[in-house]
């Protein structure tokens, strides 16, 4: 007999659910009995994802919201948790230089940190404040294999992902005795609107539904770091472990994000 599927979280909050990995995760968790709190900035795309999740039987509460807006995010997380105590919170929303179409200039560098780092704090901290008293809940932080080493093609993006990766790793050990699980997710290249901007061949490129399955299984197993696909994870690990002077020369050959 095949092994039974692990139990699925009932109440799930996902930022950046209007496209890409967030959309695929929403669809992955959508089923009868599930309550999904989904946010993004594009109302039309967010409504489309909400409708697709409802068609799979889930109760869905979409909200147009900027993750960089600390007060609104705090109010939204609390509102969702009041409606249904959150089992799983996925801080997924993110941007890269490619998202702006203009590279990592001064403004985009700051915007990347506002969304990819402050946006993660704005999602995770109010959720942890609610989970702590009930000593239950799970947090997933969307980092990236790009966070394993700074690359000349995307310094701010790599740095933002390194920041949330390391923060999440530390949080995991800190919050475990308080009954809260924390996982850091480090995808390689996945086909989404973000990678559609890349003008180079992306090794081990994966589609978003497959990536969502890997992430959901990793979260169900409470893995601290969910890094995939493994060949790309291995190369990223190796790149960070190589002598710096060698990696600096190699990284000059890589294309800009």
Ligand X SMILES: NC(=O)c1ccc[n+]([C@@H]2O[C@H](COP(=O)([O-])OP(=O)(O)OC[C@H]3O[C@@H](n4cnc5c(N)ncnc54)[C@H](OP(=O)(O)O)[C@@H]3O)[C@@H](O)[C@H]2O)c1
* Interface of this chain with ligand X, residues 41 to 60, rule: CB under 6 A: 41-42, 45
Distance CA 79, CA 31 (A): 22
Which is closer to ligand X, CB of 9 or CB of 187? 187
**Phi, psi dihedrals of residue 172, rounded to the nearest 5°:** -55, -50
Element (H, E) at 190: strand 190-191
The span of 25-33, 94-102, 230-238, 246-254 binding ligand X (CB under 6 A) equals 94-102
118 binds ligand X (CB under 6 A): no
Find how far residue 26's CA is from the centre of its chain.
Answer: 12
Looking up tokens 């800009």 gives: 256
Residue listed under structure tokens 């008293």: 133
**DSSP bridge pairs for 38:** 14, 62
| Member of 36, 92, 138, 139 binding ligand X (CB under 6 A) | 92
Q: Is 94 in the site for ligand X (CB under 6 A)?
A: yes
Residue 140 tokens read as: 């997933």
Binding of ligand X at residue 19 (CB under 6 A)?
Answer: yes
Nearest approach, Cβ of 77 to ligand X (angstroms)? 13
Query: Could you report how far apart the first and last alpha carbons of the chain are, in Å?
Result: 45
Task: Identify whether the C-beta of residue 29 lies closer than 8 Å to the C-beta of residue 216.
Answer: yes
The answer to whether residue 193 forms part of the interface with ligand X (CB under 6 A) is: yes
Binder among 72, 100, 109, 195 for ligand X (CB under 6 A)? 195
Region of 30-38, 125-133, 186-194, 242-250 interacting with ligand X (CB under 6 A) = 186-194
Catalytic, 157? Answer yes
Active site residues: 157
Q: Which residues of this protein are in contact with ligand X, per CB under 6 A?
A: 15-22, 40-42, 45, 66-68, 92-95, 99, 115, 142, 144, 187, 189-190, 192-195
């Amino acid at each position: 007999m095949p092994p039974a599927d692990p139990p699925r979280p009932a109440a799930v909050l996902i930022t950046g659910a209007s496209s890409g990995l967030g959309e695929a995760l929403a669809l992955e968790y959508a089923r009868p009995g599930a309550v999904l709190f989904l946010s993004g900035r594009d109302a039309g795309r967010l409504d489309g994802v909400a409708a697709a999740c409802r068609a799979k039987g889930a109760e869905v509460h979409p909200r147009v919201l900027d993750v960089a807006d600390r007060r609104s995010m705090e109010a939204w997380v609390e509102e969702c948790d009041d409606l249904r105590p959150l089992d799983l919170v996925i801080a997924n929303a993110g941007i890269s230089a490619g998202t702006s179409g203009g590279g990592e200039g001064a403004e985009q560098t700051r915007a990347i940190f506002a969304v990819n780092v402050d946006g993660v704090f704005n999602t995770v901290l109010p959720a942890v404040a609610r989970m702590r008293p009930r000593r239950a809940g799970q947090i997933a932080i969307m980092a990236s294999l790009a966070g394993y080493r700074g690359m000349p093609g995307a310094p701010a993006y790599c740095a933002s992902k390194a920041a949330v990766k390391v923060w999440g790793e530390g949080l995991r050990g800190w919050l475990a005795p308080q009954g809260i699980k924390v996982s850091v997710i480090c995808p390689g290249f996945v086909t989404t609107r973000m990678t559609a901007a890349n003008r180079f061949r992306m090794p081990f490129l994966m589609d978003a539904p497959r990536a969502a399955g890997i992430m959901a299984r990793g979260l169900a197993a409470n893995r601290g770091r969910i890094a995939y696909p493994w060949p790309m994870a291995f190369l990223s690990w190796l790149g960070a472990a190589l002598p710096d002077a060698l990696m600096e020369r190699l990284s000059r050959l890589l294309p800009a994000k």
